[in-house]
Amino acid sequence: MTGPQRTEYAVAVVGAGVVGLYTAYHLAQAGVGPVLVLDRGFLSSGASGRNGGGVRQQWETRATVRLARESVAAYRRFGRDFGYNIWFRQGGYVFLAENEVALGRLRIVHQTVRSEGLGSRILDEAGVTRLVPGLAAGAAVGGTYLRTDGTLYPFPAIWGLYEAVRARGVEVALGVEAVGVEQEAGRVVGLVTRSGSVRVPKVVNAAGGWSGDLSRSVGLEVPNRATRHEILATEPIKPFLDPMVVRPSDGLYFSQTMRGEIVGGLTVPHEPGTAQGMGSSAAFLPRMAAALTRLIPRLGGLGVLRAWSGFYDDTPDGFPVIGEDPRLTGFYHANGFGGHGFMLAPASSRRVAQSVMGEKTDLDPGLFGVGRFFTPGEAPRAERLQLG
């Protein structure tokens, strides 16, 4: 742990997760000047090292479909761009509908996704069973499938980004906590860390589940809320499952890794906030086991190797928060990604970097800008296809 090496930077990014590192990468590529990324933990200590690696483009709103589609393209060329194999495997995502009402909702998603040029398919029960071998009879009346969705290993993605930004001159200070922002006349002029202050006119809040704390610590009220989500990995078994399988009604998701483990989670409500830490609860394991074995009975008896948890950074409408805060010049949001920041990071971070560089992005501020939370008269819109 060493503090920042310079006294002055062009941009400081708080958080060395996938969003912070990708943002730093785009900034460095554009040659904005000295960039500092700081993280109070170690690399991958946040949600970026604790997630399910799912990357999907099936979303309710066009704006999210577009960000996800661009991100899939970025992950496809990750090996070439960053020299790390992230094992991005496009085995598809199957959304399960347990009844006709749920299938009706998926049909609407399917239409949106198809209208964006992606080959989503509606499946009947037989179609779902072909893609999810061993599915219990009657467990689903049908679903949707998009073959180009997939899964990746988060760790090599983080390592590749870390090395790429450092090779481009970005300073990554690990074990260094940001505790405040210095302001003058409504502008950012510096960042205060536990290892000293630096002069910097632009600060990016990519602090994941802690982003709300950081914003509030500089006097900016935001509705971001950290929620703990649990996940497990089983012992490996012979490969039988290509797609990620998800069920919106209870947030169940699981895939089989290339090592053969089943990795997945489902929604178990916890007290919001980060105070409770990142442990595993007694409720999660039996609920997850019951949901999984009810769906695929032959998974009964499978040993669980590990269970862990991490924080989603949730917003009330399910859209992330991207761009400069109109209340404080030089303070940028790159947060609020809920349970889907890995799959949206490449495209979202490019917009964050554009915004830091003063360029106009193609994002609708009514969907992604922080102003949507305090602008009266905005018609509420939401991206509800959340999982986990």
Ligand X SMILES: Cc1cc2nc3c(=O)[nH]c(=O)nc-3n(C[C@H](O)[C@H](O)[C@H](O)COP(=O)(O)OP(=O)(O)OC[C@H]3O[C@@H](n4cnc5c(N)ncnc54)[C@H](O)[C@@H]3O)c2cc1C
Alpha-carbon distance values, 195 to 24, 39, 165, 350 (Å):
21, 12, 22, 29
Q: Three-class SS string for 260-302? A: CCEEEECCCCCCCCCCCCCCCCCCHHHHHHHHHHHHCHHHCCC
Q: Does 226 bind ligand X (CB under 6 A)?
A: no
> Is 183 in a helix, a strand, or coil?
strand
**Nearest approach, Cβ of residue 192 and ligand X (Å):** 10
**Nearest approach, Cβ of residue 138 and ligand X (Å):** 27
Q: How many whole angstroms separate alpha carbon 197 and alpha carbon 200?
A: 9
Q: Does 231 bind ligand X (CB under 6 A)?
A: yes
**Nearest approach, Cβ of residue 26 and ligand X (Å):** 14
Site for ligand X in 295-314 (CB under 6 A): 310-312
State the number of binding residues for ligand X (CB under 6 A). 42
Q: Does 368 bind ligand X (CB under 6 A)?
A: no
Site for ligand X in 161-180 (CB under 6 A): 177-178
x-or-dash string of contact with ligand X, 179-218, rule CB under 6 A: ---------------------------xxxxx---x----
Q: Between residues 38 and 296, which has the closer beta carbon with respect to ligand X?
A: 38
**Nearest approach, Cβ of residue 309 and ligand X (Å):** 6
Which tokens in the block code for residue 53?
A: 């690696």
Q: At what angle do helices 100-115 and 62-76 cross, to 10 degrees?
A: 70
Q: Between residues 232 and 295, which has the closer beta carbon with respect to ligand X?
A: 232
Contact 234, 302 (CB under 8 A): yes
Contact 145, 155 (CB under 8 A): no
x-or-dash string of contact with ligand X, 1-40, rule CB under 6 A: -------------xxxxxxx-----------------xxx
Q: How many whole angstroms separate alpha carbon 14 and alpha carbon 40?
A: 9
x-or-dash string of contact with ligand X, 317-356, rule CB under 6 A: ------------------x-x-xxxxx-------------
Contact 59, 112 (CB under 8 A): yes
Which tokens in the block code for residue 22?
A: 């990708």
Which residue in 12, 13, 48, 128 binds ligand X (CB under 6 A)? 48
Contact 252, 290 (CB under 8 A): no
Which residue in 54, 142, 143, 190 binds ligand X (CB under 6 A)? 54
**Nearest approach, Cβ of residue 110 and ligand X (Å):** 20
Per-state percent for the chain, helix, strand, coil, to nearest 5: 30, 25, 45
Helix (H) or strand (E) holding 180: strand 178-184
Q: Which residues bind ligand X (CB under 6 A)?
A: 14-20, 38-41, 45-48, 50-54, 177-178, 206-210, 214, 229, 231, 265, 310-312, 335, 337, 339-343, 388
